[in-house]
Chains A and B, each alone.
Chain A
Amino acid sequence: MKHAVLMRSVQASVPQAAEILPAAAASEVPVPAGPKPVPSPRPSLRRHLAAKCRRWAALHHAEIRSYVIGAISLALFLLAWHLLTTYRVSFHVRFTNVPTPAEVFRSFARATHSGTLLHHVVLSCRRIALGFVIAAVVAVPLGLVMGRFRFARDIIFPVSEVLRPIPAIAWVPMSIMLWPSNEESIVFITFVGSFFPILLNTLHGMANVDPVLVRASQCLGAREFSIFREVYFPASLPSIFTGLTVGMGVAWVSLIAAEMISGQFGIGYFTWEAYSLVQYSDIALGMICIGVLGLGSSAIIRGIGRVVMPWKRNP
């Protein structure tokens, strides 16, 4: 309705508007539908809703199908786990000591009740949040500057290329020496793990900015800083978010390794300690927690990406 009003005012102020657009205006501006007859009460409303649901189901057929298949596949996985552990299958791979799903669930209930599990989870999440956020805050601007200014790139790139292949776990001894507290060294290792994927993907995004868009912005009067803010940065965002997603995955890998080696508390420490204390169901519980946390954190990044890049349609 708002559009229609605006259209009318524009056409009134510019008499030749119709002449500029012989056919296009007529064909491409959707005609607002007239007022629909008020639907008669209940029965037809229900029928209307049912029809809507059917249409929604038809439109989202493929998605519904993947969700159903996904649920079945998870259920089958649980079933296989249950059967292998209940019958203590030992065929080279030994399931004799592996806890059953029910045992894991019981230990989950116990651990949540006492609050220990939550404590470990919160600590790990805090380490991830710190290490990952610092990595993003350093790597994204650095990548943008390196992508824009060749000189910066020439200085930083060789160093980063030498450091990049070193896995975050290999940083553990060095990190313990570098940082005064254990907590800081674990956060540092998480930082190192997520830093390079974010940096490289940001660089990649900058390298692939369409030069025609830069020229278009210059023709519209954009200067250096505006080009950076209005063109280079948004154009690199999809790559930056790829980097953040990959970086988050590596951050978890690094965190768990660091916690297992040098940690007190944390979900990685919990899992390793369960092994030392022969509490086998806690091992599986720790692993599942890590899996769910990893899944959740990448979902958060995807969600942020969707908010920040509304022009990207969902894949």
Chain B
Amino acid sequence: MSKQSATASNNVANAKGRIEVSHFGLNYDSIDGPVEAVTDAGIVVEPGEFVSIIGPSGCGKSTLLNAVAGFLKPTHGTVLVDDEPIDGPSADRGMVFQQYSLFPWKTARENVEFGLKMKGMERNRRESAARTLLGLAGLLAFENQYPDRLSGGMKQRVGIVRALATGPKVLLLDEPFGALDAQTRIIMQQILTNMWQRLKISVLFVTHDIDEAIFLSDRVYCMTARPGTIKAEITIPLPRPRQQSMMMSSEFLALRRGLMSLISEESLKAMGGEVNADALQGLAIDTHGHTLSEII
């Protein structure tokens, strides 16, 4: 076993990675006074658990994730990781962003090395650690490429191993596969699942994709439209390892139907009341054979 794997398993031994968010509320200040983005939200991620948050766009799911990352301070409530309140971002909580956010001026390997460099690890050791991780992600041949030479899927794999390099207790992902095409996304989901099972770290995953949430998670939290709060918590009892074919199973489809109805209600609310059932059915106007511009 390489040195990196040894340190990783040490980290797993002493780290727990339990996330507990309770009565979480976050207000933004605006000229009309404070605006509630999230109100009274509570979630728990047990050590080693894979938990997703889904909800309509603008519901504050990313806000919640950013609070766990330490970028935002809660207005109300507490955010605890292993019973310690969060004080700013740290390498204990790895984060993967939707826009990849690789450093364009660093090669794939230098990107992966970054966290280790910040920890003060010497060059040779962090280089070999980064190579091991890139090898796991199938990117060793691309270690010296700058990000703009990599495809979206490759960039995000670099993003994931970069976040894992420092041996975090918790991995936070903010719609990481949102910009990828459907095929790449499925491969990425399998890669992420495999890495998670191997490293046994806690994962908090934000997405608006219901299939993705079910396929990946042990549990799914469903959020309401703004001000966001937790509307439902669904346990996903599907056995692991999960295969892509499982997405056609009746169990999967039943979960999907349930979540879909929870979400679509909130999505309509999030779009601001103007969209009603008639709008979804098509324009409910009788034009008597005239074009729309003639009658308006």
Q: A residues touching B (Cβ–Cβ < 8 Å)? A: 3, 6-7, 10-11, 13-14, 16-17, 19-25, 28-30, 210, 212-213, 215-223, 226, 230-231, 234-235, 237, 309-311, 313
Contact = CB atoms under 8 A, between A and B. Distances in A.
A173 to B, nearest CB: 44
B187 A23 contact: yes
Contact of B187 (A24, A30, A231, A234): A24
B140 A7 contact: yes
Contacts of A221: 90-91, 115, 118-119, 166
Contacts of B101: 210, 212-213, 215-216
Contacts of A6: 131, 135, 140
A3 B114 contact: no
21 contacts: A7-B140, A7-B141, A10-B131, A11-B135, A13-B132, A14-B132, A14-B136, A17-B136, A20-B138, A20-B191, A20-B195, A24-B187, A212-B99, A215-B101, A218-B88, A219-B89, A220-B115, A221-B91, A223-B118, A226-B118, A311-B106
B59 interface: no
* 4 tightest A-B CB contacts, nearest first: A10-B135, A221-B91, A220-B115, A25-B138
Interface string B138-173: 111110001110000110010000110010000000
Given A219-B95, A311-B146, 18 more contacts: A3-B141, A6-B131, A6-B135, A7-B140, A13-B132, A16-B194, A20-B136, A20-B137, A21-B191, A24-B153, A24-B157, A25-B138, A28-B139, A28-B142, A215-B69, A221-B115, A231-B103, A237-B105
Contacts of A234: 103, 105
Contacts of A7: 135, 140-141
Nearest to B159: A216
Contacts of A10: 131-132, 135-136, 140
A201 B70 CA distance: 32
B288 interface: no
A28 B141 contact: yes
Contact of B89 (A30, A215, A311): A215
Sorting the interface of chain B by its residue count into under 10, 10 to 19, 20 to 34 or 35 or more gives 35 or more
Contacts of A216: 95, 97, 101, 103
B118 A22 contact: no
Contact of A220 (B71, B141, B148, B166): B166
Nearest to B244: A22
A25 B139 CA distance: 8
A16 B191 CA distance: 12
Contacts of B157: 24
A310 B163 CA distance: 24
Contacts of A213: 101, 103
B1 interface: yes
Nearest to B95: A219
A56 to B, nearest CB: 21
Interface string B99-110: 101011110000
Given A7-B140, A14-B5, A215-B89, A311 B148 contact: yes
A235 to B, nearest CB: 7
A290 B187 CA distance: 59
B264 to A, nearest CB: 30
Given A215-B95, A219-B93, A230 B136 contact: no
Given A6-B135, A22-B190, A313 B148 contact: yes
Nearest to B191: A20
A188 to B, nearest CB: 34
A20 to B, nearest CB: 4
B240 interface: no
B176 interface: no
